[in-house]
Structure 1
Amino acid sequence: MTASYQTIATRLDGNVLFATFHAPPINLIGPEVVRDLVGLVKELSQPATARVVVFDSADPDFFFPHVDLTKVPEYTAEAAKAGGPGDASLGMLFRKLSEIPAVTIAKLRGRARGAGSEFLLACDMRFASRENAVLCQPEVGIGTPPGAGAMQHLTRLLGRGRALEAVLTSADFDAELAERYGWINRAVPDSELDEFVSGLATRMGNFPRDGLIAAKAAVNAISLPPPAVVRADAALFQQLVRGEAAQQRTAELFKRGFQTRGRTELDLGDALGGLPAVD
C-alpha cells in the first residue's frame, strides 16, 4: 500500500491489510470518507495488493451510523469518481468494493445503519461483537427506501419476509438476531472478536491468490445484483430523500440531536418509531 488517507488508517501485516475508519465526531459517511473509499477501492483493484482486507472502526459506538444527510450532493460527487457520472452513487461504489480481487471482511463494533450497513453488506464476510453491535436500515422510517444495496443484498441473504421486516420496520437489530437472520456471518463474544477475525484473515491470506480470487468471482457471478438494479435503487433514493416527507422527518430528527453523539443516534431505531406520522 502506498497511499495515505484522511479517514482510513491502514496497516499491512503479511498478506492482510487492516483498514480502520476514523472520521470524527461519529464516523458519518460524508465526502471525505467517500473520497478515501474511492481511492482505497482503486488501489485494491490493482494486481498484487493485499489478499485479505479487514475493515473496522476506531469509534466503539459507531462503525458508520449512516450518510451525512447534509452533504448528499457532495458525497455523491465523490462517489462518481469511482466510475464516472453515470455511476454517481454509493451503491455502485460499494459494488466495486464487492468486486475487488481481495477477500473483504467487516469487523463490526458499534452501530452500522443505512449506508453503513450497506457497506458491510458489500463486504464478503461480516463478523460482529455479540455485545456491542447494532445494524439497521433506517431509510423507510425517514421516507425513502435504501439506495446503496440493502434491498438487493438483504433479500438474497435473509429471504423475502425477513428482508421486508428489516427494511420496512427501520428497527435496530442486535448481533444475535442479525446472525440468526443471516445479516452477518457470526456474532462473536467481544473479547474474542479481534483474535477470531485476525486468525481467519491470516488463514485465507496464506492461501494462493489465484484460488481465492477465482472462487470469490464465481460466487459473485451467482449472488451480486446486476448493475442496472443497483443504479435504479440509487436513483429512487436520490429522488425520495429530497421529498417533502423525508425532509420533514429529518428536520424533526435534527431537532432531537440527529448526527450528534446523543440518544437519538445511539437509539435511532427507537427514535424513528417515535416520530409523528406523516402522509
Structure 2
Amino acid sequence: MKLNPYSTLRIAVDAGIAWITLDNPPVNVLSGTLIRELHDALGHLRDDRSARVIVFSSAHPELFIAHVDMHILDEMDELREIADRNPDVNLFQGVGELLRHQPQVTIVKLAGKARAGGAEFVAAADMTFAARETAGIGQSEALMGIVPGGGGTQHLRERVGRNRALELLLTGDLVDADTAAAYGWINRAVPAAELDAFVDGVAEKIAALSPELIAATKRLLPPTDLTDGLRAENDAWAELVGGDLPGRLMTGALQNGAQTSAGERDLESVLRKVAGGLQSESHQPARPQS
C-alpha cells in the first residue's frame, strides 16, 4: 500500500513494514516542510497496527539528511502550530522525540552522510545500519558557531559516553561508519553492496513478530527521559544562535556551496574556510581615518 500525500516523503507499507524515503532535493535538508510532513506521517503511522517497523532511507545517493535548512529561522512562524503541540521541547528536538517514542521499531538505512540535524535524526531512531564505504555522520554545529539544538548533546552522551561526545561535538568532524559503530553511535557498519539486503532482513524479522511482543519489548526498554537535558540544550542553542557569528558563518557557507550537492560533499572544509576568512577579517588592522 502506498501513502504519498507528501512532497518530501515517499511512503509504502507492505508486510508490516513502512518504507519512508526522504526526498527533499537538492540535498535533503531538514526543512520546515519536511518537519511538518514527518510529524504528519509518523502521527498517522502511530495508530496503524499493520505497520510494525519503519525503515527510513534517502532518495539522494550521497546524503541522508544534510542538516537543518540554514534558512529555517525564516519559517518559524509557519511552524508555530507544530511547536505548540510539543511545549516541553523546541521544534528540532520535537522531531527526535517523535522518533524516540514511536510505537513501531524505527530503523535508519544510512547509505550517505548525515550531519547536525541529520545526525540527530539518526541517533533518535531505534537502530541505524550504515554503508561502510559511503556513509558518514557528524555533529557539525560547532563549525556553525552553535551547539546542537535538536537533541544532539543528549543523544550523543547517551549513546557514546561523555568523553566521545565531547570529541564529536567540539571537533565537528564527520566520522565514517566503522568509527560510528565502534563508538556506539550506530548499530553497525556493513558493506555498501549488502546494506539493502541486510536492512531488509532485519526489518522482515521484526515485522514477523506480533505487535504485542514488539510493544512489550519497547515498553521494557523505554527511551530515557531527556527533558532536563533538552531544556538546557535549547537554552544554550538559543543564546548562541541569536549572536552575530552563527549568522555570518551560515551566510558565508551558503555563498561557498552549502546546501548544494558539491558543497555538502565536504561541508566541514567549507565551514572551516568560512570561519578562517572571518577570523582573518577580525585581525585586519583598522584603516586610518582620513
Q: Report if the CA contact (8 A) 2:154-2:226 is conserved.
A: no
Counterpart in the other structure of 1:68: 69
Counterpart in the other structure of 2:239: 239
Deviates more, 1:119-128 or 1:80-89: 80-89
Equivalent residues in 2 for 1:66-105, closer than 5 Å: 66-74=67-75, 77-78=78-79, 80-81=81-82, 84=85, 86=87, 87-105=89-107
TM-aligned CA deviation for residue 250 of structure 1: 1.5
- The TM-score normalised by the length of structure 2 is 0.88
Counterpart in the other structure of 1:255: 255
SS in 2 for 1:231: helix
Q: Distance in 2 between matches of 1:16 and 1:189?
A: 23
Q: Report if the CA contact (8 A) 2:95-2:121 is conserved.
A: no
TM-aligned CA deviation for residue 212 of structure 1: 1.0
The residue type paired with residue 161 of structure 1 is N
Equivalent residues in 2 for 1:46-57, closer than 5 Å: 46-57=47-58
Q: Report if the CA contact (8 A) 1:77-1:88 is conserved.
A: no
Q: Report if the CA contact (8 A) 2:3-2:11 is conserved.
A: no
The residue type paired with residue 270 of structure 2 is A
Q: Distance in 2 between matches of 1:110 and 1:2?
A: 25
Q: Report if the CA contact (8 A) 2:46-2:102 is conserved.
A: yes
Counterpart in the other structure of 1:228: 228
Q: Distance in 2 between matches of 1:140 and 1:76?
A: 26
2:136 equivalent to 1:137: no
Q: How many residue pairs end up in the alignment? A: 276
The residue type paired with residue 253 of structure 1 is A
SS in 1 for 2:79: helix
Q: Distance in 2 between matches of 1:21 and 1:216?
A: 25
The residue type paired with residue 142 of structure 2 is V
Deviates more, 1:111-120 or 1:247-256: 247-256
Deviates more, 1:80-89 or 1:29-38: 80-89
Question: Aligned Cα RMSD in Å?
Answer: 2.0
Q: Distance in 2 between matches of 1:2 and 1:255?
A: 37
Q: Distance in 2 between matches of 1:62 and 1:76?
A: 28
Change in 2 beyond 3 A, CA 1:85/1:91: closer
Counterpart in the other structure of 1:171: 173
Counterpart in the other structure of 2:126: 124
- The TM-score normalised by the length of structure 1 is 0.92
Runs of 4+ more than 6 Å apart = none
TM-aligned CA deviation for residue 225 of structure 1: 3.6
SS in 2 for 1:156: helix
TM-aligned CA deviation for residue 69 of structure 1: 1.1
Unaligned runs of 5+ in 1: none
TM-aligned CA deviation for residue 196 of structure 1: 0.5
SS in 2 for 1:131: coil
User: Which structure has the larger Rg over C-alpha atoms?
Assistant: 2
Q: Report if the CA contact (8 A) 1:34-1:75 is conserved.
A: no
SS in 2 for 1:81: helix
Q: Distance in 2 between matches of 1:233 and 1:80?
A: 22
Counterpart in the other structure of 1:270: 269
Q: Distance in 2 between matches of 1:82 and 1:52?
A: 26
| Percent pairwise identity | 34
TM-aligned CA deviation for residue 145 of structure 1: 0.5
Q: Report if the CA contact (8 A) 2:258-2:270 is conserved.
A: no
Q: Distance in 2 between matches of 1:24 and 1:145?
A: 26
Q: Distance in 2 between matches of 1:76 and 1:47?
A: 31
Counterpart in the other structure of 2:162: 160
The residue type paired with residue 231 of structure 1 is R
Q: Distance in 1 between matches of 2:243 and 2:181?
A: 34
